[in-house]
């Protein structure tokens, strides 16, 4: 009898767990949805963690997850096999827990590589940054996954290269130097467990040089970091340590974006205790770029403007193929006619 009572409780817990997580959501098919997540030496609680994370990722519908603290690659591969339309990457010259999970039907991988891998940079980067060169909806992006040195006393000692804050300061500025030199005109997203506050005083702020360069860089989670502690990514020692930094090529997308700490623990019956025991001590931080606003002239929604769009517009004028007035009225005069074809040709040329 005791056995059956335990079994009933177990099954009820599974039912509650599944039902609550089914309400969790974030991404969709019309947006670029990216998250960073320190998953605390995955899998923290073995097979139980794999099952939790599999359902969480399926519910979140992310295009890309930058993960830190992957420990067991075999169980990571098992999780990938259980996910629908996802694959992953964790190859490294010296594996230190960085990985990616990404959608196979929306993300085109051009290259994945590491930077600052040689010994002069090991102090700044105990885990070499992992760069994903990828395309999404025809646009090229560079995602840089990081896990900075932890700990410290909160004081930035510029004269001590062994100081934890100084090591993170060096890492931030080396990343900035790399982007300024090699990716200065690219869509760049730097993210990860950066293990320090971005909203603290300038005297001890390891990110200050990036924060000062407002023309080129912006922390999209700054309002979270400077806001209520309930929204922070690391509740165990209330702080916000997981960040997303973008370059100015993406500034125009901010009006159609949303950034948040995804509080998965609120969707669990056991709240934070259940989350911390089975999943991680960090929450994911994510950004969604809403790219649903179609490119002008892209009448077939293939993310490019070309001769195929002219054919569609001509067919519409000949009553062969009907299309939406809003997308076909390229000169916004209220009608679709030969003048819109002229506009479309000029866009292509």
The model carries a pTM of 0.82
Whether residue 141 sits in one domain with residue 43: yes
Whether residue 333 sits in one domain with residue 277: no
Q: What is the DSSP string of 124-192?
A: T-SS--EEEEEEETTEEEEEEEEE------S---TT-TT-HHHHHHHHHHHHHHHHHHHSTTSEEEEEE
Q: Give mean pLDDT, residues 45-64.
A: 98
Q: Is the pLDDT of residue 19 over 60?
A: no
Distance, in Å, from the CA atom of 20 to the CA atom of 269, rounded to the nearest integer, reads 7
Whether residue 112 sits in one domain with residue 41: yes
Whether residue 324 sits in one domain with residue 178: no
- Using the 3D structure, point to which of 240, 261, 290 is the last residue of a domain: 290
Residue 93 sits in a domain of what CATH number?
Answer: 3.60.10.10
Residue 296 lies in a domain: no
Distance, in Å, from the CA atom of 335 to the CA atom of 349, rounded to the nearest integer, reads 23
The 10s digit of each residue's pLDDT in 63-95 is: 999 999 999 999 999 999 999 999 999 999 899
Q: Give mean pLDDT, residues 130-158.
A: 98
The 10s digit of each residue's pLDDT in 204-236 is: 999 999 999 999 999 999 999 999 999 999 999
Rg, Å, the chain Cα set: 23
H-assigned helices in 68-109: 73-82
Distance, in Å, from the CA atom of 223 to the CA atom of 112, rounded to the nearest integer, reads 30
Q: Give mean pLDDT, residues 116-139.
A: 97
pLDDT of residue 11: 40
Domain containing residue 257: 2-290
Residue 248 lies in a domain: yes
Residue 300 lies in a domain: no
> How many domains are contained in the chain?
2
Whether residue 191 sits in one domain with residue 45: yes
pLDDT of residue 329: 82
CB 260 within 8 A of CB 52: no
Whether residue 165 sits in one domain with residue 119: yes
Question: Could you tell me the pLDDT band of residue 324, with boundaries at 50, 70 and 90?
Answer: low
Question: Could you tell me the pLDDT band of residue 7, with boundaries at 50, 70 and 90?
Answer: very low
Residue 298 lies in a domain: no
- Using the 3D structure, point to which of 290, 319, 338 is the last residue of a domain: 290
Q: Is the pLDDT of residue 4 over 60?
A: no
Residue 123 lies in a domain: yes
Percent of the chain scored above 90 by pLDDT?
Answer: 77
Whether residue 322 sits in one domain with residue 222: no
Whether residue 330 sits in one domain with residue 209: no
Question: Could you tell me the pLDDT band of residue 293, with boundaries at 50, 70 and 90?
Answer: low
Residue 14 lies in a domain: yes
Q: Which two tokens stand for residue 196?
A: 């320090």
Name beta bridge partners: 217: 247
Whether residue 270 sits in one domain with residue 153: yes
Q: Which two tokens stand for residue 228?
A: 């209520």
Q: Give mean pLDDT, residues 154-162.
A: 98
């Amino acid at each position: 009898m005791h056995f059956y009572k335990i079994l009933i409780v177990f099954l009820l817990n599974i039912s509650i767990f599944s039902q609550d997580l089914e309400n969790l959501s974030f991404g969709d098919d019309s947006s670029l949805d990216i998250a960073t997540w320190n998953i605390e030496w995955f899998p923290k609680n073995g097979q139980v963690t794999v099952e939790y994370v599999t359902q969480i990722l399926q519910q979140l519908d992310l295009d890309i997850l930058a993960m830190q603290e992957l420990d067991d690659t075999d169980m990571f591969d098992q999780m990938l096999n259980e996910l629908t339309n996802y694959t992953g990457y964790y190859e490294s010259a010296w594996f230190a827990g960085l990985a990616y999970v990404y959608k196979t039907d929306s993300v085109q991988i051009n290259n994945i590589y590491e930077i600052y891998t040689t010994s002069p940079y090991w102090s700044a980067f105990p885990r070499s940054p992992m760069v994903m060169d990828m395309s999404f909806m025809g646009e090229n992006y560079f995602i840089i996954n990081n896990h900075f040195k932890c700990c410290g006393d909160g004081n930035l000692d510029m004269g001590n290269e062994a100081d934890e804050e100084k090591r993170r300061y060096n890492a931030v500025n080396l990343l900035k130097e790399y982007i300024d030199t090699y990716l200065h005109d690219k869509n760049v997203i730097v993210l990860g467990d950066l293990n320090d506050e971005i909203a603290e005083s300038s005297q001890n702020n390891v990110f200050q040089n990036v924060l000062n360069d407002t023309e080129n860089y912006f922390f999209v989670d700054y309002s979270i970091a400077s806001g209520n502690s309930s929204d922070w990514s690391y509740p165990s020692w209330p702080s916000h340590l997981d960040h997303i930094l973008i370059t100015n090529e993406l500034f125009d997308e901010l009006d159609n974006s949303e950034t948040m700490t995804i509080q998965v623990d609120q969707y669990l019956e056991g709240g934070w205790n259940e989350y911390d025991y089975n999943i991680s001590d960090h929450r994911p931080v994510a950004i969604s770029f809403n790219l649903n606003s179609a490119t002008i002239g892209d009448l077939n929604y293939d993310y490019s403007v070309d001769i195929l769009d002219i054919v569609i517009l001509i067919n519409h004028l000949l009553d062969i193929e009907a299309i939406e007035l809003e997308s076909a009225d390229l000169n916004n005069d209220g009608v679709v006619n030969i003048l819109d074809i002229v506009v479309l040709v000029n866009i292509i040329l």
